[in-house]
Structure 1
Amino acid sequence: MSETLPTVLDIEASGFGRGSYPIEVGIARTDGSSCAFLIQPLDEWTHWDPKAELLHGIARERLIREGYPVRQVAQWLNDELASIGKAYSDSWGYDNTWLSLLFHHAGMLPRFRLEALRILLSEAQQALWSDTKEAVIGESGIHRHRAGEDARLLQLTYQRTRLLCE
């Protein structure tokens, strides 16, 4: 496919309710590569939902041990995304909230915009999305609910639905 893939961003979090915070951020780049960083929780970030941990499989203790400081993750995102200017998310409401929280606590402003992935999709792509995503999961061996892999899954699903609609 000659068209450039969209840059996709995904965030895993401590839960979904009030007080939740980002614990991992990942991106899938336009060339199809992906990467992610665990985020070291701040002292005031205490909310922890065991149901969320069952999904992503990341223990809070691991974040404390292996996570990167909030400011370092925010700087990495700016370094990766400033020249592109935007990234896309399938859960814009949640991801944008967690991204804002990350940058606020880093004392920085994002140098890119996060937009809803659905704005890139035609009606035909939207109709195919769910079944196509399940097919890609089955074929790719992607580990769900990890930020980098989920971002790549969304990118592959986007690409496949584009091809199916041509």
Structure 2
Amino acid sequence: MTVPIVMDIEASGFGAGSYPIEVGFSRRHGEGWCTLIRPEEDWEHWDESAAQVHKIPRETLVERGRPVANVAVTLNLILAGHTVYTDGWAHDYVWLARLFDAADLQPGFRLADFREIISPKQEELWHQTKRQVEIDLNVGRHRASNDARILQLTWLRTYDACRLLH
């Protein structure tokens, strides 16, 4: 098994009308990529409790976010033909679809649920390992690429631990 590419998407909230505000991923060798997404004109939903988690004001997205078409094209260029995993598939799939729909493009990669590649043995070790990865990385900012890297390293450490047990 090769190290999976892992993606995380931050959003304006979890309810109907929410949209992606940041996307990030960690590639197979740990190279990260992350960008803010400028909201489309009709993307008005904003959940203050979600904003408290990601600490990104909507004004920052409007001023510094990249246009959806730019983000979608960049994702397709970097991730073309790959399967990319996420731990929040139900939400991330919807937000990624919203991004690509707004850009009038199709993803050139497959977004898959992390559970497809996590064994029951890995699952047993997951939460404890993830806490240790978070301590080891000592990431100060809640960012999509940081979250993706934490998930990727958690997968790798649990995978290696399970191999050693056999």
Q: Quick check: TM above 0.5? A: yes
Letter in 1 for 2:148: A
Letter in 2 for 1:39: I
| Aligned-residue identity in percent | 48
* Local SS of the residue matching 1:44: coil
Q: Would you say the 8 A contact 1:144–1:150 is kept in 2?
A: no
> How far 1:142 moved relative to its partner?
2.0
Q: CA RMSD in A?
A: 1.0
The runs of at least 4 aligned residues of structure 1 exceeding 6 Å deviation read: none
Query: Aligned residue pairs: how many?
Result: 163
Quick one: distance in 1 between partners of 2:76 and 2:140?
26
Q: Would you say the 8 A contact 1:74–1:110 is kept in 2?
A: yes
* Local SS of the residue matching 1:153: helix
> How far 1:155 moved relative to its partner?
0.4
Quick one: distance in 2 between partners of 1:71 and 1:143?
30
Q: 108, 125, 147: which is aligned to 1:128? A: 125
Q: 90, 113, 118: which is aligned to 1:93? A: 90
* Local SS of the residue matching 1:15: coil
Alpha-carbon distance change, 143 to 91 in structure 1, aligned in 2, over 3 angstroms: farther
TM-score when normalising by structure 1 = 0.95
Q: Would you say the 8 A contact 1:142–1:153 is kept in 2?
A: no
Letter in 2 for 1:140: L
Q: Deviations over 1:79-131 (max 9, x none)?
A: 01114x21000000000000000000000011111000111111100111111
Quick one: distance in 2 between partners of 1:24 and 1:98?
10
Letter in 2 for 1:122: S
**Matched residue, 2:53:** 55
Unmatched 5+ stretches in structure 2: none
> How far 1:144 moved relative to its partner?
5.7
Letter in 1 for 2:156: Q
Unmatched 5+ stretches in structure 1: none
